């Protein structure tokens, strides 16, 4: 029997790895039958977060938002059928979900068509509890392991959050996506206050432990799909916040300050407070053809400088 453990932000059914985390894998069911949704949800509820879509168009939208690990896709639906939905999903950039077709048909002809369309497997109706669980579990495990191995190159070795390389790639990608959708993209740049003094007083090993604790708290504090926590450099972190306005990002900055302060990590050598805090610089812009991602970074960086000048342990919003 598998033991459920975590890889980054994902829960993984394997005893091969030893990781920590809090969020489970994501399974999306796209089926116009409410009964099928209920049956599959009940069978798979222990494997992760279950989301359902009632038709193909809704399923595509949810897949773009949730980035599910596994998609159970009904073949026969009104409007867009399963093959059309599969084709549209496969055209999305960076699509990594495992698609399992759900069908009332059996036989080699239907199997070949499903696999040719891009599915990794299929499940026939009526559902057999053990078969459904076995097939979904196998592809869920494979998807999570593949995702983990692919992310190794993008993870910071000390803190376990994403590294600067991945930040640069994802910011450019999100900028293009928000330009197309004409949505506001936000960024939080944050710095651990008086970190050099912390290192000098307690040593670099304690400093490393401090950065790990801060990174873990930041990862727990980002809950929406698409929010990306990265180690920007040294004691500085960056968080990409899709579809977020200036008002929303400022509230998020205050929240981050509260979350880190609540850790009550002792700081033995600072002039104001006896525990670790952060300063946060924030920016939110509506991308245009005339602007670039570096403008978002520059605004957040200027706001971070102002937060530190004004006394630290606070969040400031940059001009954009």
Q: Which residues are catalytic?
A: 235
Judged by DSSP in three states, 200 sits in helix
Q: What is the helix (H) or strand (E) element at residue 215, kind and residue range? A: helix 204-221
Angle CA 18–20–26, to nearest 5: 105
> Are the C-beta atoms of 276 and 270 separated by less than 8 Å?
no
Residue 307: DSSP 8-state: H
> Are the C-beta atoms of 8 and 26 separated by less than 8 Å?
no
Pairing state between β 315-317 and 4-7 = unpaired
Q: What is the helix (H) or strand (E) element at residue 129, kind and residue range? A: helix 129-151
Q: What is the 3-state secondary structure (H, E, C) of 67-90?
A: CCCEEEEECCCCCCCHHHHHHHHH
- Residues comprising the chain, all counted: 320
Residue 229: DSSP 8-state: E
Structure tokens at 288: 């245009």
List, in order, residues 6 or more apart from 310 with CB less than 8 Å away: 316
Angle CA 276–226–297, to nearest 5: 60
């Amino acid at each position: 029997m598998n033991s459920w453990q975590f890889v980054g932000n994902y829960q993984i059914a394997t005893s091969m790895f030893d990781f920590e985390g809090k969020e489970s894998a994501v399974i999306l069911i796209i089926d116009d039958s409410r009964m099928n949704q209920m049956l599959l949800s009940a069978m798979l509820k222990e494997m992760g977060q279950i989301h359902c879509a009632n038709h193909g168009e809704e399923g595509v939208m949810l897949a773009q938002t949730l980035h599910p690990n596994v998609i159970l896709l009904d073949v026969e639906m009104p409007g867009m059928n399963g093959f059309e939905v599969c084709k549209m999903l496969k055209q999305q950039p960076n699509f990594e979900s495992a698609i399992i077709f759900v069908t009332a048909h059996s036989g080699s002809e239907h199997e070949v068509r499903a696999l040719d369309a891009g599915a990794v497997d299929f499940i026939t109706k009526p559902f057999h509890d053990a078969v459904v669980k076995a097939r979904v579990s196998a592809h869920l495990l494979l998807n999570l392991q593949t995702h983990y191995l692919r992310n190794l190159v993008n993870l910071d070795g000390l803190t376990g959050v994403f590294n600067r390389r991945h930040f640069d790639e994802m910011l450019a990608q999100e900028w293009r996506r928000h330009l197309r959708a004409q949505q506001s993209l936000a960024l939080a740049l944050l710095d651990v206050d008086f970190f050099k003094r912390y290192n000098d007083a307690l040593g670099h090993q304690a400093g490393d432990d401090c950065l790990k604790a801060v990174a873990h708290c930041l990862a727990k504090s980002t809950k929406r799909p698409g929010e990306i926590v990265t180690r920007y450099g040294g004691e500085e972190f960056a968080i990409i916040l899709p579809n977020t306005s200036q008002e929303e990002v400022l509230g998020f900055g205050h929240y981050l300050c509260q979350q880190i302060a609540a850790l009550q990590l002792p700081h033995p050598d600072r002039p104001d407070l006896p525990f670790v805090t952060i300063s946060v610089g924030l920016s939110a812009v509506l991308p245009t053809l005339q602007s670039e991602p570096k403008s978002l970074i520059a605004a957040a960086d200027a706001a971070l400088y102002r937060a530190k000048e004004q006394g630290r342990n606070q969040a400031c919003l940059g001009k954009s």
